[in-house]
Structure 1
Amino acid sequence: MSDTTPVSDTRTLLLRGGEVHSPADPFATAMVVRGDRIAWVGSEGAADSFADGVDEVQHLDGALVTPAFTDAHVHTTATGLALTGLDLGDAPTLDAALTRVRQYADAHPDHRILLGHGWDATAWPEQRPPSRAELDRATGGRPLYLSRVDVHSALATTALRAMAARLPEESGHHPEGPLTADAHHRVRALALDSVSPAQRADAQRAALRRAAELGIGTLHECAGPQISGEDDLTALLALAAQESTPRVVGYWGELLTHADQLDRLADLGAHGAGGDLFADGSLGSHTAHLRAPYTDHDHTGTAHLTADDIATHVALCTEAGVQAGFHAIGDAALDAVVHGVREAARRTGLPRVRALRHRVEHAEMLDGTAIAAFAELALTASVQPAFDAHWGGDDGMYTTRLGARARGLNPYAAMQRAGVPLAFGSDSPVTPLDPWGTIRAAAFHRTPEHRISVRGAFTAHTRGGWRAAGRDDAGALVPGAPADYALWRVGELIVQTPDTRVANWSTDPRSGTPGLPDLTPGRELPVCLRTVVAGRTVHRRPNE
């Protein structure tokens, strides 16, 4: 597994007096960590035998200990820029968004190109994005790149458009409205090129720090030539290797057409040839590729890859023993992925394809046939439950875009029943880093038949992320596993029976299931006290 892993010391630590969430012992209250590995989990009484043979004893005072979370889909630099810069994600109206743009421009006279993120006109009463003229006035005529919340379209001021030579000739160009496709890629490249190495490092540190504060021990960085660039990925991997941060597993989303291109993955330090390798776009930007037209637009979105493209890419990766992956949201895009992977399996052999657990990011419009194909091909579904929390429901953006079809989106329960491996993430900055909120979103899906148990969702956000990257020995607090864990201040712990849905919870310890926090909507989410990666603390809450 190509990743950046903090170097641990070889000290031995005994944690005791808490609640240890471990499949090795559902009643565990103590844990021993030796260097970068879990050495033992068990009861408080048995911990006495270790007390004299360890370098340090940490008293947990009732804290919950869990494996650290893995966020399986992140854009680290973009997340950091949103955390430290112009973020319109919670702007309640168009006027409020324009006010923020004006204030940000006034506060940053030294920025050659202003960068912002997160606008979503579907959430505003005006139901429209800012016009080019409005943004020109708000910025005083300066270059501004303002990505939509899904990052599949963006607004650009006149000054930035003028910097992009022959922009009107590109696909996806609109003289006044949001830019998509190649026009968007061109202005985004200009915008990101304006970020200095120091700004980039500051943004990456901010994102990694925020992840650690939330109990996230591993991030899957979904990089690519249309998303961030080679320098961004290599700088991130180097920073994470040199500093005490969550570990980073890098993916590079560039289409392979011949075997020589595989060498670039090694040069970049990438774990796989996937992540945001776009088969289509997004529903919010009307660029996800659909079998039938959008309900609110008379077209079917955008196809970026054919089934033949996908087959060639997957076959090359499979022959080289490298994991492949694709971004696919619409049902037509998912059809192309299934057909392409199946053809690659015909060329290379199904067992070899299955062994590499090739990934599909988002995978929102899966029907029963596609779910069965995912299970057959052992495709990992790297999904984002917060998408449903943000845009699902009868009055949400998905219903606006798709009508009755929206009810079939993100069918986690059917996927789990079919044996499709699930790995949870945020796609930050599209939705925020928020692991417990992600688990809540899956357990209380807006469409009840798609809900999965809190325990199943927790597994998808811990072990699921490790398995998605090819590791079966991590993501659980068991002897021999990496010492990646988090300490939490929680309220009541709930025990779920193995074969029930969300509402049928139990406090009966005879079920033998380790407890997890009560995530019922309205209850306070757990607070992270400490995050440890490979035995080294990467976050400690002040005064705890």
Structure 2
Amino acid sequence: MTTRTDPQSDDRTVLLRGGEVHSPADPFATAMVVERGHVAWVGAEGAADAFAAGADEIVDLDGALVTPAFTDSHVHTTATGLALTGLDLGGAASLAEAGALVRRYAEEHPGDRVLLGHGWDASRWPEGRAPGREELDALTGGRPLYLTRVDVHSAAVTTAMLDLVPGVRSLDGYRDGEPLTADAHHAVREAAHAAVSPRQRTEAQRAALRHAASRGIGTVHECGGPHISGEDDFTGLLRLAGEEPGPRVVGYWADLDVDRARRLGAVGAAGDLFADGSLGSHTACLHEPYADAPHTGRAMLAPAEIAAHVVACTEAGLQAGFHAIGDAALSAVTDGFREAADKLGLARVRAARHRVEHAELLAPEAVAAFAEFGLTASVQPAFDAAWGGEDGMYAARLGAERARSLNPYAALLRAGVPLAFGSDSPVTPLDPWGTVRAAAFHRTPEHRISVRAAFTAHTRGGWRAVGRDDAGVLVPGAPADYAVWETGALMVQAPDDRVARWSTDPRSGTPGLPDLTPGAGLPVCLRTVVAGRTVFPGPIG
């Protein structure tokens, strides 16, 4: 890809030509014009000559693919940045290997007030257990350490970390010798995050946004809240995104206090407003007990509380939303929406475009309720790739039969439920093409959706999830948020084929997408543009 450029500004005219432009306006487009941060034209190479003389920048795509930039509908930005720049145990293949990484990190960071780490997953380790407190005390020399499980719903900590939080040993979720959950975890997380300086926090946010841009992501939905990141973290991120070039940041604040969410600049009192926890930490709320634990998890919101929140948000003109994974939690959520619709009227609830995060163990009646109330399912296909299958963590927690019902994307689409894809980073990586692949090649075949539907859920679906129907697609008038990709031959999925067979017949009139069959290399991002401004390659700011 070669360019002829003038100094970059938002009001420039840019002509991209000589590639493949993924646009429903012209399935055979090879060129695109951007003016004042919006798409002005898409079309064929020959017609592009008329725009060359007035262009401030001409990009020779050299056969590259241009697509709408991805939207990641569920991100924890600061935590992602800290994982990128700090102690990440996601690659540890055993408890012993994780311990070695903890020891090395502690030795290399003698000045840190609190050591922060993320990503351990005992379900993948041959030892089959989490690191113990006394082990971590020895590895860190007795220093405070906060080490979150991959799902961020539990944490292993040192004795010194517990000592920073008076009374933590009497809180729900504290069991001596086990990872912290529930209120005990929230209290220790707050203390750990308080040890991060404003400078460290801003640098972590920059690192996360820079990484997102390098993956072709033009927008992230930040999911903050009083038990997640803190007000200063949330407002600081929104301010940073407004002041420095980079991916757009749409903020959700998970709080029953609707006025506070509005005051902080959130578009919704939503996101990780917990109706339950996670399957990995045994805190997702189920109708029937876990297969590997003698309980049903933890309910965090009752239907009446959910209904009151939906009413308050709807009347305030904000989105409501809830974190709900287990079938019992999802029943509580849909019961709450039904109660709210009875009070406000179904049309008002549907028009507000409320959303539910994760929505994993969905019974058919819950799917129908999502469609009835116009709820967006903000989901993470990488969860299935990481933990699905007959031998995965899901099967261990629920048994193989119940595990096969998780993440039913095809059923949601058949019911007309809008999908918005995300990563829940740092729970799973910022990897949009990998996410599209995970949905198209779901470990449970009946839940698979087409590559085209998955791509739409990760581009236009994220914009629709915030109430914007005019973006996430490269057509004249849309925001010029796009990415340029180095990729192999493009494939056009046959209309009568859900996943396996492919067609390259140009008569289909369907814009092509990369071959994402397992084993094929994923596209490489060459450039990411937001509102006409290049945010990758190169650092943000």
Q: In 2, Cα distance between the equivalents of 1:117 and 1:188?
A: 12
Residue 358 of structure 2: aligned partner: 362
Does structure 1 retain, via aligned residues, the 8 Å contact 2:262–2:268?
A: no
Give the aligned residue type for 2:334: V
CA deviations on 1:62-108 (whole Å, 9 max, x unpaired) are 00000000000000000000000000001001000000000000001
Q: In 2, Cα distance between the equivalents of 1:401 and 1:119?
A: 17
Q: In 1, Cα distance between the equivalents of 2:135 and 2:347?
A: 56
Residue 286 of structure 1: aligned partner: 282
Measured after TM superposition, the shift of residue 266 of structure 1 is: 2.9
Does structure 1 retain, via aligned residues, the 8 Å contact 2:136–2:158?
A: yes
Give the aligned residue type for 2:59: Q
- TM-score if structure 2 supplies the norm length? 0.97
Q: In 2, Cα distance between the equivalents of 1:541 and 1:498?
A: 39
Residue 457 of structure 2: aligned partner: 460
Measured after TM superposition, the shift of residue 138 of structure 1 is: 0.2
CA deviations on 1:257-292 (whole Å, 9 max, x unpaired) are xxxxx3322321111110000000000000000000
Q: In 2, Cα distance between the equivalents of 1:299 and 1:473?
A: 46
Report 1:237-316 matches (<5 A): 237-256=238-257, 262-316=258-312
Residue 383 of structure 2: aligned partner: 387
Measured after TM superposition, the shift of residue 53 of structure 1 is: 2.5
Corresponding pairs, count: 531
Give the aligned residue type for 1:498: P
Label 1:129 to 1:498 Cα distance change in 2 as closer, same or farther (>3 A): same
Q: Secondary structure at the match of 1:408?
A: coil
Residue 174 of structure 2: aligned partner: 173
Q: In 1, Cα distance between the equivalents of 2:18 and 2:348?
A: 46
Aligned Cα RMSD in Å? 1.0
Deviates more, 1:61-70 or 1:504-513: 504-513
Residue 500 of structure 1: aligned partner: 497
Report 1:371-520 matches (<5 A): 371-403=367-399, 404-520=401-517
Measured after TM superposition, the shift of residue 45 of structure 1 is: 1.1
Measured after TM superposition, the shift of residue 150 of structure 1 is: 0.2
Q: In 1, Cα distance between the equivalents of 2:170 and 2:159?
A: 16
Measured after TM superposition, the shift of residue 174 of structure 1 is: 1.1
Unaligned runs of 5+ in 1: 1-6, 257-261
Residue 4 of structure 1: aligned partner: none
Residue 27 of structure 2: aligned partner: 26
Give the aligned residue type for 1:333: A
Label 1:332 to 1:8 Cα distance change in 2 as closer, same or farther (>3 A): farther
Measured after TM superposition, the shift of residue 492 of structure 1 is: 1.2
Residue 5 of structure 2: aligned partner: none
Deviates more, 1:160-169 or 1:431-440: 160-169
Q: Secondary structure at the match of 2:53?
A: helix
Measured after TM superposition, the shift of residue 498 of structure 1 is: 2.9
Give the aligned residue type for 1:529: L
Residue 540 of structure 1: aligned partner: 537
Q: Secondary structure at the match of 2:129?
A: coil
Q: Secondary structure at the match of 1:186?
A: helix
Q: Secondary structure at the match of 2:404?
A: helix
Answering whether residue 13 of structure 2 is matched by residue 12 of structure 1, we say yes
Report 1:338-357 matches (<5 A): 338-357=334-353
Answering whether residue 320 of structure 2 is matched by residue 319 of structure 1, we say no
Q: Secondary structure at the match of 1:103?
A: helix
Does structure 1 retain, via aligned residues, the 8 Å contact 2:255–2:261?
A: no
Q: In 1, Cα distance between the equivalents of 2:417 and 2:164?
A: 46
- TM-score if structure 1 supplies the norm length? 0.97
Residue 75 of structure 2: aligned partner: 74
Identity of aligned residues (%): 73
CA deviations on 1:342-380 (whole Å, 9 max, x unpaired) are 111111111111011100000000111110110010000
Measured after TM superposition, the shift of residue 499 of structure 1 is: 3.8
Q: Secondary structure at the match of 2:220?
A: strand
Q: 2:525 aligns with which of 514, 525, 528?
A: 528
Measured after TM superposition, the shift of residue 218 of structure 1 is: 0.1
Q: In 2, Cα distance between the equivalents of 1:211 and 1:527?
A: 13
Give the aligned residue type for 1:373: A
Deviates more, 1:75-84 or 1:158-167: 158-167
Does structure 1 retain, via aligned residues, the 8 Å contact 2:321–2:356?
A: yes
Unaligned runs of 5+ in 2: 1-7
Q: Secondary structure at the match of 1:469?
A: coil
Give the aligned residue type for 2:68: P
Residue 234 of structure 1: aligned partner: 235
Measured after TM superposition, the shift of residue 497 of structure 1 is: 2.3
Q: In 2, Cα distance between the equivalents of 1:12 and 1:51?
A: 10
Measured after TM superposition, the shift of residue 541 of structure 1 is: 6.9
Q: In 1, Cα distance between the equivalents of 2:408 and 2:122?
A: 26
Deviates more, 1:28-37 or 1:8-17: 8-17
Residue 92 of structure 1: aligned partner: 93
Q: Secondary structure at the match of 2:186?
A: helix
Q: Secondary structure at the match of 1:291?
A: coil
Does structure 2 retain, via aligned residues, the 8 Å contact 1:497–1:513?
A: no
Q: In 2, Cα distance between the equivalents of 1:361 and 1:9?
A: 34
CA deviations on 1:409-465 (whole Å, 9 max, x unpaired) are 000011111100000000000000000000000000000000000000000000000
Q: Secondary structure at the match of 1:285?
A: coil
Q: In 2, Cα distance between the equivalents of 1:255 and 1:326?
A: 10
Q: Secondary structure at the match of 2:425?
A: coil
Q: Secondary structure at the match of 1:13?
A: strand
